[in-house]
Every structure is written in structure tokens, then in C-alpha cells.
A and B are shown apart, each in its own frame.
Chain A
Amino acid sequence: MTAVQVTSVSKSFRGGRRALDRVSLSIAQGEMVALIGASGSGKSTLLRHIAGLVGADRGEEPGRIEVFGAEIQSGGRISGHCRRLRADVGFVFQQFNLVGRLSVMTNVLLGSLGRIPAWRGTLGLFQNAEKHHAMEALHRVGIADFALQKASTLSGGQQQRAAIARTLVQKARLVLADEPIASLDPASATKVMETLATVNREDGITVVVSLHQVDYALRYCPRAIAMQAGRIVYDGPSTGLTPAFLADLYGSERPGSAPAADPGHPPLGPVGSAALAYLS
């Protein structure tokens, strides 16, 4: 069964910048896929489209996105069932996106919101089974000891694992992780990638992870999709990424094709060269 089916999706933001340019791809259930590309190439935009958080261009050729065979958006219109579909899709954000003032446990429990009756979720009346499930998820990602701490008091790597635990409680069958390790030190980054690989291997959860570090992509993801200026320029086994191709992917950015001074993103030069060093 295909987990994700993207057909000819384009997205232009105001100002005419084309963030996605007729993107099509298909990801089978159980795959672990790396999404790579220079800053501004459209990785986050693509993932957010798949989760139905943004609508694509209406355009002349209407793009479609299906998740597990159900349409999450088509021709720029987000499906009316998107709330139910989103429950199948866990999202892990670069900045963790936990609610800092709530406990780790509560944050993880919130994953069940899409599955339980709306009134019960709104009142925060979680049942014991759900709480046990949340605790179990925290054990699996190795942060059970912090369950009652405020989320904001955790380290970046721990918060990221809490975010993964939330997708487990959500019973997501697809996890989209947008640069989950970009703001982590190498040890935490490895832990987070290991956790993602474990849920992929043991639970058969499909994982799509956007990465700046090509070495991590090679180590954990059998398949890689490379983007450049909103287009898919490579889709295949990650072992097929040649140093020359990567140099082109990260090096030949046209000036102005990426936000030049975006403080939110680390400069790509060193990352690209580290990846090349790893490859050579």
C-alpha cells in the first residue's frame, strides 16, 4: 500500500517564489526516506503539504496528495476529513513544537486528541488506558523519568524524543519529521535518529525525514529524495548519491535562490562539505 502519493503539486508563495514545482512522488508503507536539499529548496513546504497544514496552488493542473489512499488535499483544497487523516500523520518539527508550560506527559497525551471524542479531548479527560499508553511511549523513547516535568525544562534532544512519543500515542502510521536534528548536538541527534529508525523497523511506521546532514541520511535511510528550487532532482537509493551530485545540490545554488540571510537556518557550506568528507 502506498503511504504517500503526491501528484503534480505546485506551490507559489506571495512574491512569486515557487517553493514547489510540479512535485510528484510515491512512498510505500514501511519505508524510511530522507528528504535532502539546500536551504530554501522546499523540504519543509513539501512536508507541510503532505500533512495538510497548507494548501497547494489551485493552478491549471490541480495537484493531489493522498495519504494511505485517502485524499488529504486536491486542487488546493484541504479535505474535509483532514482532521481524521491528520491523526494518521505524526509531525515532528525542528523546533519540537511542544507546549512548554505543560508537562511532558500532557504533551504526549495530546497526541490522542485526534482519536478520542472531541468533547473529552477538549476537557482534557484522558482515560487511564491513554495515560498508560503515553507512559509506555515515553519509556520507548527513553524519557520516562521526565514525564512530570514541564516540557520547556527538557534538553533539545529530549524534547524531540517527546515529540516522537507524541506521534506514537497518536498511533500515526506515517511520521513526517522536518529537520528533527538540526538544532541538536551529535549525540542527541544520533539518539533521535535511532528512535525514528526503531519505530520504523519495529512498528512498520513510514518515516519521511528532512535532513541537512547527508551522512545521517546515508546511515539511516535506504532511500533519499533530493530537492532543488522546488523540484525533485533525485529519487533513489541513498547509496546512489555521488559526491559530484551532492556538490551540485548544495554548491551550485544560484545566488538569491535561497533566503540569503535567514538566521533560522545554519549556513550550508560546512554541512555540505562534511557530507562530502564522509562520502570520500
Chain B
Amino acid sequence: MTTITRELPAHRHSNAWYLGWATILGLLVWSWEGAGMNPSLLLRYGGNVVSFGKGFFPPDFSDWRMFLEETAVTIKIAVWGTTLAIVCSVPLGILCSENMVPWYVHQPVRRLMDVFRAINEMVYAMLFVVIVGLGPFAGVMALWVHTTGVLAKLFAEAVEASDPRPVEGIRATGATWLQEVVFGVVPQVLPLWISYSLYRFESNVRSATVLGLVGAGGIGQVLWEDVRGFYYAQTAAVMVFIIVAVSLIDFLSQRLRRVFQ
């Protein structure tokens, strides 16, 4: 009589499993030095953290009028940067879509958008500060270029996922290419486009708060100047303004986005 033994299949990790972990650990060790990792500094200067933290309290709101104005400037930068980007992303997004234009159009346009997107807003801001001078307009330009790269790609993805049949229905009436876009594609993708645009506006308000660090205006510039001047009480007040403004915009924009879904 044979007994049937039911053993669990031996669980063995494959070589790839060990290799994967070894790679990750190796990467962390290799990066330790370059990143200047030194936790002991935190311990040694722990006292600094406490006194630094004490400096923040109580926040000094005496300049609140100026903070409010500068917060408004930051939002205005985001409004214009995003709006200009949306206006450019509509045609560029169509020109990035492989179902709308031949490859010799969408390939170069897409690469251009990759370039726009690959470089961070802060880097653009530094460049535009050199070109157009210190101030909010450099911030607008920076957001415009970067956001165009992002939105054109998102817009194109929506266009590529749209239903080709209504478009063909319009083509069959003898419509032009542009009319196919206007009446066949845009109505289909508009809700998505609006939603993407609002989302980018939210994140541009956040980005705009730091653009001031390179001299591109707004509340970020105030923040930077206060930190550099060791005015921690003011810094704390500015941060409260930023948090409130960003949360408020996020909240409103999310409510609005829900309408278009």
C-alpha cells in the first residue's frame, strides 16, 4: 500500500530574485556617499532643529497685506501660464496624434513636446529670468513651456483614444480635415481636456509658489527672502498662506473637475 504524501512544493527563490535585491542594495550603498548621507548630523545638530522650530512660532502675520498680494501674484502666474499652455496644446495635441496626422508630422512634434516636458519649470524659470528679467513674467513663460509639453501629450492621448466612426461620418459629408477635428474629435475629447487642464492648473499653482526662488516673482520670492534673512516668524506666516491657497485651489478645481466627468 502506498501512502500519498502531499508535500508543499519546495519554495525556492530564483537567481533573478537574489540578483534583483543585490542590485537594489548595491544602488543604495553606491548612492550613500554621493548623496552626502550623514544621519549623525541630525543628532549632533538636533538642538538647532528645536531652536529653528521655535523661531517659527508664533508666525508673524504683520505683513499679511503684502503676503496676500504676492499669493495673488502666484495664482495669476499659474492662471496665465496654464491658459497660454492650453491654447497651444490644442493644436499641438492634435498634431501629436497619430490618428490625425501622418508620421512625419506627429513624430517631430512629439519630440519637441518631449523636450518641453523633460526640463523642469524651475530650470525654464532660471533661463527666462535671464531673457526677460526678474519678475512674474519669467514665471509665466516657464509654466507655459513646461505645461504645453505635458498637456499636448495628454490631449493627444485623449484624441488617439477617441472613436473614429463619428469622424468618418463627418468626413463622408465632404467636410474638411479641420471640420472633422472641430465637430468629430473635439466634442468627444472636450470633457477629458477640461479635466486635464484643471489638474495642470492645480499643480501649476503649487509649482508657481517655488518659482520665486529663482526670482520669478510671487509668494515664493517672499519666502526665499525671508528664509535667507532668517525671518523665521515671517517664513512661517508665508507657508501658512501657501498651504491655504494651494489647498483652496485644489479643492475648487477638484469640485469643478467632477462636473466635467
Contacts and interface: CB of A to CB of B under 8 A. Distances in A.
A122 interface: yes
- Chain B interface residue number, banded: 10 to 19
A149 B30 CA distance: 64
Interface residues of A, number: 33
Interface in B41-87: none
Given A93-B165, A163-B169, A84 B183 contact: no
B248 to A, nearest CB: 31
B172 A101 contact: no
Contact of B166 (A87, A99, A114, A124): A99
B179 A113 contact: yes
Interface of A: 51, 53, 83-87, 89-91, 93, 95-102, 106, 110-115, 118, 121-122, 124, 163, 166, 170
Given A53-B171, A87-B173, 11 more contacts: A53-B168, A83-B174, A84-B174, A86-B174, A93-B169, A97-B165, A97-B166, A99-B169, A99-B187, A118-B178, A124-B182
The interface residues of chain B, by DSSP majority, are classed as helix
Contacts of B178: 118, 122
A110 B172 contact: no
Nearest to A82: B174
Interface in B156-180: 165-166, 168-176, 178-179
5 contacts: A93-B165, A101-B187, A112-B173, A113-B170, A118-B178
A178 to B, nearest CB: 10
B165 A115 contact: no
Interface of B: 165-166, 168-176, 178-179, 182-184, 187-188, 190
A86 B175 CA distance: 9
Given A93-B165, A97-B169, A114 B175 contact: yes
A99 B188 contact: yes
B174 A115 contact: yes
Contacts of B168: 53, 93, 97
B175 A110 contact: yes
A259 to B, nearest CB: 18
Contacts of A124: 182-183
A105 to B, nearest CB: 13
Nearest to A114: B174
Nearest to B190: A101
A122 to B, nearest CB: 5
Nearest to A111: B173
A110 B183 contact: yes
The 5 A-B residue pairs with the shortest CB-CB distance in the complex, in nearest-first order? A114-B174, A97-B169, A87-B174, A91-B172, A86-B174
A147 to B, nearest CB: 17
Q: Which of B171, B172, B184 has the most CB of A within 10 A?
A: B172
A159 B261 CA distance: 24
Contact of A121 (B169, B175, B187, B190): B175
B100 to A, nearest CB: 15
Contacts of B166: 97-100
A113 B184 contact: no
Nearest to B191: A101
Contacts of A114: 173-175
Contacts of B165: 93, 95-97
A100 B170 CA distance: 12
A119 B175 CA distance: 11
Contacts of B171: 53, 86
A67 B22 CA distance: 71
B234 to A, nearest CB: 51
Given A98-B166, A99-B166, A122-B182, A113 B175 contact: yes
A163 B173 CA distance: 11
B190 to A, nearest CB: 8
Nearest to A172: B173
A181 B168 CA distance: 19
B169 A101 contact: no
A89 B172 contact: yes
